[in-house]
Structure 1
Amino acid sequence: MTTQQQFLDFLWEIEPSASTVNTCSSAHNTLREALRTDKNLSKLHVETFLSGSYKRDTAIRPQKIGGILQRPDVDIIVVTSHSGEDDPHDVLDALHQALVDAGYKNLKVNRRSIAVPLAGVDMDVVPVIEDGDAYLIPDVELKRWLTTNPSAHTQWTVDVNRGAGGRFKPLVKIVKWWRRCHLSALRRPKGFILECLVAKHMSCSQVNYETLFVEALESIRDAYSLHVLLGQVPFVEDPGVPGSNVFSNVTIEEFKIFYDMVKEHAVLARKAKNETNDDEALRLWRAILGPRFPAAAGVSKSAASSLLRPAVGAGLTFPATPVLPNKHAGFA
């Protein structure tokens, strides 16, 4: 039998460390201040804010590949005074030049953003313009501006988490860790798509994380069996852009691989939940969630280490406006 405390300890294990959070905070604050004060971009600069899983507090600790710790990701939205008539290439070029002028190296221009790799963190810098309550983002491949709403995504996660008694974000982290264990090579679905999927299929009244995870897998399995049979990707509405499907860029091949793993592990997770032998239950849960899943213990890690890391669900909070670190962060 697996206890709630084991899942709480597991959540503590997969939480980004304090050093990871500090590295991200220093890096993004330095970059945001550099853009704000750039001699050219400052004329177009309106504000910057954070987006992505770190802002939404759904990030998990960076993984090791081949013994090398991978860098965490931080998304930075740069609100500008560009117009929808401006060419997306020109917009990204202006942002790229400002980053070059600030001393950043090894930059990569993506279709909608600039990737900034540093020694301890990867940042994705995204230019946007305001469009009513939403934003427009330039796409250099499509050569047009597309609707996006990262701030609405952040607020949506806050609202869903509140409605689920604070258990939505922790469950998302468990699902993301499960995906990393078994589907790390799969391009999509991941990230915010998984968050939307969890929100759609979790119980907001259930308090036990083992049950929440098992029932979420079973709900996803049961909801989309026909889609897989018919070769269709499901429609899950983007909570920030009504009418848009968060699965729009997921191929049927990708979804089928994801679905088959969900189907297999829904059965395995139910077996783990029903197992009364502690050793066998632990073996099953480690087959599902990896070796970090803890054995039952007299004193929980999460309780014993409460002064070392934030409590689960407390959130990774960053200032809304840039704060300069005491020491300039080194560039890659």
Structure 2
Amino acid sequence: MTLTTAQAFTQFLGDISATEYQETSIIQARKRTVDDRLSEKFPSAADMPYSEGVLMGSAAKGTIIRPFDDIDVLAVFSNVSNAWAKYQWDSKAFIYRIRDAYSGLSIQQVGTRGQAVRVFYKTGGHVDVAPVFAAGDGVYKLPNGSGGWIDTAPGIAGQWFARRNQELGYNLAPVVRLAKSWNRAHSKRMRSFHLETVAGSAFSKIGSNYREALEKFFEWAPRHLHVNDPGGHSGDLCTYLTWSAEQSLRQSLESAAERARRARAAEADGDHAEAKRLWKIVLGDDFPAA
């Protein structure tokens, strides 16, 4: 059966969204492996007890897309024995100690990327374990990658996104998933957190027509690239982009906006084949064009 453009969008959104099984049996299971491993290596009697793991990032916000790249877990350690004093001036030693907790595992490959320990699974994908000390009021001390520390408040940022999603009729998260598919298909120029925050800042309302909403995202996003961390600690989220990288991103957004406009015009004229052809260019080869 030939799909209309709206039907193709519905199918594609379902294809890229996490299933209930994936949310409960894969995402949560991988978080539990973090909890189990770190609870074993850092029990309550240790000098640095493991307090809890907190799912964060796209998996926590409901904006993760398939196939999964990574799952982010905040690993909170207790300062009950004043472990902070030991690592206050050397966060590298802290993060390497967490990495060493994974040594000897045959089913995983472990590395470190400065701020997190990345655990790769043989079945595919990885978990980024970000070890932190709690600083109070939802703020955590996170290694900065060069031996020092930065403040981060992912829970506060997550609450901001959840509030915006609710205010926008729970249509923000689906639009973000679609925008992430565009980003994945076009060089992954935007970091996930940046894209989510840009989208949450750009819209004052979103209807159920996600083709229209996605066109508006591409049109409005360039005016919102320099958006601040809603958690209140990372400042301008666009600073990871060089001038030339930012210009390339702007050009990519403008190109996507133009194709989206043409696709919507083709759909309005009843030419679903052309509309789907254009959306396939925007969203990637997995978009159903038949």
Deviations 1:230-285 (A, max 9, x none): xxxx5211001257111122222221111111111211111111111122212222
Task: Say whether 1:108 aligns with 2:99.
Answer: no
One-letter code aligned to 1:109: T
Tell me what 1:326 maps to: none
Match of 1:240 among 228, 231, 238: 231
2:12 alignment partner, SS class: helix
One-letter code aligned to 1:95: I
1:214 alignment partner, SS class: helix
One-letter code aligned to 1:76: V
Match of 1:264 among 255, 269, 283: 255
Q: Which runs of 5+ in 2 are unaligned?
A: none
2:159 alignment partner, SS class: helix
Tell me what 1:180 maps to: 184
Distance 1:262 1:123, change over 3 A: same
Report the CA distance between 1:77 and its aligned residue.
0.8
Report the CA distance between 1:6 and its aligned residue.
3.3
Distance in 2 separating the partners of 1:145 and 1:39: 21
Distance in 1 separating the partners of 2:164 and 2:280: 28
One-letter code aligned to 1:244: G
Tell me what 2:75 maps to: 78
2:84 alignment partner, SS class: coil
Match of 2:134 among 130, 147, 166: 130
Distance in 2 separating the partners of 1:204 and 1:218: 15
Tell me what 1:300 maps to: none
RMSD: 2.5
Name the TM-score, length of structure 2 as normaliser: 0.85
Distance 1:98 1:42, change over 3 A: farther
Distance in 2 separating the partners of 1:295 and 1:205: 25
Deviations 1:95-146 (A, max 9, x none): 12222266675311221111111113301111111122211101241x2110
Contact conserved, 2:110 with 2:118, CA < 8 A, in 1? yes
Tell me what 1:12 maps to: 14
Mean CA deviation greater in 240-249 or 264-273: 240-249
Tell me what 1:321 maps to: none
Distance in 1 separating the partners of 2:220 and 2:101: 47
Tell me what 2:54 maps to: 49
Tell me what 1:165 maps to: 169
Name the TM-score, length of structure 1 as normaliser: 0.75
Greater RCO structure (CA 8 Å; 6+ sep): 1
Task: Say whether 1:195 aligns with 2:196.
Answer: yes
Report the CA distance between 1:26 and its aligned residue.
2.1
Contact conserved, 1:35 with 1:42, CA < 8 A, in 2? no
Distance in 2 separating the partners of 1:29 and 1:35: 10
Distance 1:48 1:101, change over 3 A: farther
Distance 1:281 1:105, change over 3 A: closer
Report the CA distance between 1:295 and its aligned residue.
5.3
1:106 alignment partner, SS class: strand
Match of 2:272 among 278, 294, 313: 278
Q: Which runs of 5+ in 1 are unaligned?
A: 63-70, 225-233, 297-332
2:75 alignment partner, SS class: strand
